[in-house]
Chain A
């Protein structure tokens, strides 16, 4: 029962719209029962996973392409599915409080449900193509979530950045997955994972790895694609909490972890992941330390943690696998709590700027306690779950098989990061809760929020404390299968708080001590001069978008300058190059000139009149004359159809001829009677050459098609089967509506689209003419609302 889980989440989305009515907080908690139900249903199937097996389901989707919607629940999927639905439950309920005054809550929760469904589909997918579909769905739905406050320019920009970066990476990923499937001979994950040795030796391996990593790095905000994630904090806080802690950005990590047994073990994979991940982790931790916006601070720590996860996958080994699984859970718990707490503070104080907060300990004691718990876990302070996770990360760095240099670098990077986390945590805590009561706090009556709003952050924060103290055993049975899936081999996992005095503990304690000392200077560090703004990734990306658009506009203006004759010219030239050149190269030899021995003189006469009509058209002095001359061509073609016994074609040709004459007369009746020659002589000569070439090309193509033996066997089939299978004696019509009915359906669709195009062209221009000038001037763009929350 796996795909119903995804379906429930997706199908629940429309029901979330009821949250637009009053009593939003209660409705939201009611809606939170949906993810809770999925959580329960997932947990109910966990038994077989814990016994070392997995749940597999398969629905035929496009059998002709060998494409199945297959779903698999194994240790890693289970861990992710539980995190997604568990955190999702809390966040949906929390959102009801956070957005209680927002009429769009229903829409927001609908996006959340869709996103959750996409995310569940991604982690449960048992086929890389199925996974890719859900991967793209998460990009789209997260775009909707980030751009939820679409009347703010920053929200639109953040949403667009995230979409462009992740969807761009998604394209690379698609190609990478296709290469992977080619190399492994199957798109099923189980087959790919079983084909590890074949894959690593395959010629496509490097290309597939690079493309897949490009997809994962963009999704998981690794350097140099990290910049979209801070922009994504423009989403309402509940969405940020969900995207950052449990879902979206973890998708890349999930895929890397998932594929590492198959693709890992080579220098390309391991070293790339370790280096990029380590660099991202350290860089983002230092940047996070220097932020003043609560959410920006948390966003950078998220990037840092994603780097840490990527690095651990690269470092590999038993501890690497365990570290990834444990850190994913630990991070999801404390980060969702912290984001929701940032939302609480923002919600109560109207600001999340550290410089404007302070002294809240007297007003929000409960919030302070929960924040402290979450921050302790974030800082990796002993007895918190974050500490357990960090120890494993250090073990992974110490035990890695990538050589002494990378091992040392990784340990150093982790130590620096751990220190930076402490400083970040201390700055966050002291600037918010300690010190003088700030101006912002004095301006309004600040209290703890309703208990309902504190459930969201409270549960994961408390879990961060309770799990290591009391539940390490049960959690080990959750982490174990997940680690085994990442490791690729069965693995016995026994998480422990106390490993004895070892190198990892010493490094950890050293980092804590250094962080504690440096935390006193946190504000000075934050106020140091940073990089100039133009060097920031999002600014560079903005310029990139701008340049691309300018380039596209220039190109479009060159090609589509608005004159029909230019369009025809370019179309003809393109056809001559892309069809004509290959045709001359390969197809021209298949033309045969078979002269019909029973050729009659009237047939020759009809055919000979066609070029006469063409020449007459070109040389016509008046428009009416040209129309008549063109009609001669059409009439002769119709006559030829009659002579060669094709009455259907002939009828159609004649009717079309009549109607097009009417249309031409309609249009030409408003043009001058006589043609005037505006073109220069060389233009006319050029056009004549191109037209002649086109004529020869099309004639040659028809001749080649007609005399090519490859197509001959079709006609007898139609002739024989028309009456019997098509129940009609008119073979042409039977082909049109039965044998090739699908083609005809396509053709009438094209006809209709052409009509829409003409309708748009004529009516839009009319509309433009009708718009009174004063209407344009009075409808000024709505003033940009001032975003007070930033």
Chain B
């Protein structure tokens, strides 16, 4: 409530940032995050799938994937992060909850309690054993990605907190192809 009395933001991203509005303007960060992005996403899926037998799982995998996206946001800005992965994260989170919930239903159809597990008899090469708990874990994974990323984007895109240069005429488009 003392907002008006405060001094102006001290460390805003530079207004002349070439990419839409990186939170931290650094060539090294941009280069590294560009390289890391696919690796991190792969790692997150790996973590998700191996979770049933080794440390990992939907929650950890989801946090990893969200970190990858947030890293893009920090290095390039929210607009670019949205463009690289054009996903509606709010819907993704909702879908995750829905997806997690529906895999409890097959058991009810069979007359068993909700969320009783079903497994395929043989493991699938490269994926491992597949069953309703794994699918439920994917729901968790998607929810965590959606929630975490959306919160970060909401904060960064909050115009009062971050009066971004994107809201003014900026050289974003011209620099894009470079």
Contacts and interface: CB of A to CB of B under 8 A. Distances in A.
Interface of A: 562-563, 647-648, 651-652, 655-656, 658-659, 662-663, 666-667, 669-673, 678, 726-730, 732-734, 736-738, 741-742, 744-745, 748-749, 751-752, 754-755, 758-759, 762-763, 765-766, 769
Nearest to A749: B97
Contact of B97 (A652, A666, A729, A748): A748
Contacts, number: 155
Contact of A666 (B23, B55, B59): B23
Interface in B50-79: 51-60, 63-64, 66-67, 70, 74
Contacts of B117: 726-727, 738
B155 A667 contact: yes
Nearest to B53: A729
A730 B23 CA distance: 38
B139 A748 contact: yes
B143 A751 contact: yes
Nearest to B115: A741
Contacts of B161: 666-667, 670
24 contacts: A648-B55, A655-B64, A658-B67, A663-B151, A669-B10, A672-B10, A678-B2, A727-B131, A728-B53, A729-B54, A730-B52, A732-B55, A736-B137, A737-B57, A741-B115, A741-B133, A741-B136, A748-B96, A748-B100, A748-B140, A752-B147, A754-B147, A762-B154, A763-B154
Contacts of A662: 70, 74, 152
Interface of B: 1-2, 6-7, 9-12, 23, 51-60, 63-64, 66-67, 70, 74, 90, 93-94, 96-97, 100-101, 104, 114-115, 117, 119, 129, 131, 133-134, 136-137, 139-140, 143-144, 146-148, 150-152, 154-156, 158-162
Q: Is the interface of B mostly helix, strand, loop or mixed?
A: helix
Contact of A748 (B1, B2, B104, B144): B144
A663 B148 CA distance: 10
Contact of A755 (B11, B66, B147, B162): B147
Contacts of B94: 752
Given A563-B1, A652-B63, A671-B6, A733 B93 contact: no
A744 B7 CA distance: 44
Contact of B154 (A648, A728, A759): A759
Q: Which 8 A-B pairs have the closest CB atoms?
A: A728-B52, A647-B55, A655-B63, A729-B53, A737-B133, A748-B143, A733-B57, A738-B133
Nearest to A658: B67
B127 to A, nearest CB: 14
A673 B140 contact: no
A727 B162 contact: no
B155 A651 contact: no
B52 A659 contact: no
B6 A659 contact: no
Given A648-B56, A659-B67, A751-B144, 7 more contacts: A651-B56, A655-B60, A655-B67, A672-B6, A672-B7, A730-B57, A737-B134
B93 A656 contact: no
B143 A762 contact: no
